[in-house]
Amino acid sequence: MSTDRELDTLLAGAAVVRDADLPVLPDAFLTTLTAEEPASVLAARQLVDDARRSRLRRRPSRKVLVRVAAGVLAVAAAWTAAVVVDRPDGAAPPVAAPAPSQVVEAPVDGISLVAAERATFPLSVDPVPAGLTATFSRWGGVAFYPGQPLVYSADYSSAGSDRFLVRLFPDDPRAWPDSGWSVDGPVTGTVTVDGAVTEVRGGDGYLTLLWERPDGRWLQVLGEGAYGEPAAAVAVAESIVDRPQPVGLQFGLAPAGWSIGGYEESRSLDLVNDAAPEQLLRLSLIGREGGLTVDTALSGTELAAPVVPVTVQGLDGRLALVEGYGNPDFWNLVGEFADGPMFLLVAPQELTEEQLLAIAEQVTYSP
């Protein structure tokens, strides 16, 4: 039997690195951090950054399959008001965001932005028990994550200890080499779910059910607290229906030819380029721990160009090109949802600044 202390001992053993075995941080790096740069060096660096940024706008994409044309995007309808905050050097042209739900066409050989595929979780629980809130995850199944099968997971949690997970697998997870899906414990019994023989695994306060669907996919219900009892878990299992439901984060616009790559606990959402699977566009929520703000969210990031104040969805945001150092540079855009959390968009440089702003303007979040 495992006490909290025994569990912490198990955890401690998994740390694999002990502070006592590590060196102190070098004084030389402290000097690097705290050295003040003369104003002339800062000014020269700013000029170099501005010139480099100007070259970046005209430089063709490094990718053969995805080419980005220089210049301003042509749009099918009227722009919304251009609302970029003036940059400190006062030389910035306004960067406008397109009206919602518009197809934003680049010049002939560039990327188009189209209405995004809606991110959904393929199943629903009907009815959802009172007092539970759901978050959704999707992993694998795309070339960006080679060799990882597509797994969907819904987490229905209460404020207390009652909780259940619903997981959908493409085939029998017991046969997978990575058995990290709670399927390697002993079977303690069987029940029947919608006529299917269902394996039961469990212990004190928790239980898992695993069965094969008629379409060959496999479902798992993991229950804790009140849902760790067989009757309650079976009731959940039998309430699962093939009805897609939206996940919290959504893109409104996406690059043409890009698809959903995955999502994590309804707090991050990926799009991947079908033609170039190494390219990923990620939308994620940012916490405000430690007093983090839109203004400080990019602090410490090594940049290829200065941070640009922008306005996204009517609120302050920040846009920066992050230094790739041997890998392609990539965009970071920080924004905020009204009365909600901050968000971060990470995107490859193949998207232009204007495209990224257009995408940011149409991301949404429903908690």
Partner 1 sequence: MTTPSRDVDLFDRVYRDCGTAVLGYALRRCDSREDALDVVAETFAIAWRRRTDLPPDPGEVRPWLFGIARNCLANSLRSTGRAGRLGERLAASFAPGAVPDPAVLHEQSADAGRVRAALLELSDEDRELLTLIAWEGLTPAQAAAALGLTAGTARVRLHRARGRLRAALAVPASSEETSHEH
Rounded Cα gap, residues 54 and 45, in angstroms: 14
Specify the pairing of strand 364-365 against strand 249-250: antiparallel
Backbone angles phi, psi at 317, to 5 degrees: -145, 175
Of 113 and 267, CB closest to partner 1: 267
Rounded Cα gap, residues 62 and 28, in angstroms: 36
Residue 130 is a binding residue for partner 1 (CB under 8 A): no
Of 80 and 301, CB closest to partner 1: 301
Residue 175 is a binding residue for partner 1 (CB under 8 A): no
Window 42 to 71, contacts with partner 1 (CB under 8 A): none
Residue choice 40, 130, 204, 231 for contact with partner 1 (CB under 8 A): 204
Residue 172 is a binding residue for partner 1 (CB under 8 A): no
Residue choice 127, 287, 338, 339 for contact with partner 1 (CB under 8 A): 287
Closest CA to 282 of 220, 177, 211, 360: 360
Rounded Cα gap, residues 286 and 335, in angstroms: 9
Window 229 to 268, contacts with partner 1 (CB under 8 A): 264-265, 267
Closest CA to 313 of 248, 353, 254, 363: 363
Provide the minimum distance between the beta carbon of 206 and partner 1 in the complex, in angstroms, as a whole number.
4
- Give me the 84-123 binding string for partner 1, x by CB under 8 A, dash otherwise: ----------------------------------------
- 178 contacts: CB under 8 Å, gap ≥ 6: none
Of 53 and 105, CB closest to partner 1: 53
Residue choice 182, 245, 313, 364 for contact with partner 1 (CB under 8 A): 182
Rounded Cα gap, residues 310 and 215, in angstroms: 48
Stretch binding partner 1 (CB under 8 A), from 30-38, 41-49, 76-84, 93-101: 30-38
Residue 291 is a binding residue for partner 1 (CB under 8 A): yes
Residue 223 CA, chain-centre distance (Å), reads: 26
Of 266 and 355, CB closest to partner 1: 266
Residue choice 96, 151, 163, 358 for contact with partner 1 (CB under 8 A): 163
Q: In Å, what is the CA distance from 300 to each residue of 33, 146, 344, 352?
A: 10, 31, 15, 23
Residue 40 is a binding residue for partner 1 (CB under 8 A): no
Is the preceding omega at residue 149 within 30 degrees of 0, hence cis? no
Residue 138 is a binding residue for partner 1 (CB under 8 A): no
Residue choice 198, 311, 332, 352 for contact with partner 1 (CB under 8 A): 332
Residue 77 is a binding residue for partner 1 (CB under 8 A): no
Return the number of other C-beta atoms located less than 10 Å from residue 273's C-beta.
24
Residue 280 is a binding residue for partner 1 (CB under 8 A): yes
Provide the minimum distance between the beta carbon of 215 and partner 1 in the complex, in angstroms, as a whole number.
25
Stretch binding partner 1 (CB under 8 A), from 65-73, 101-109, 209-217, 290-298: 290-298
Q: Residue 134 is inside which H or E element, if any?
A: strand 133-139
Window 337 to 356, contacts with partner 1 (CB under 8 A): 344, 346, 348
CA atoms within 13 A on the CB side of 34: 5
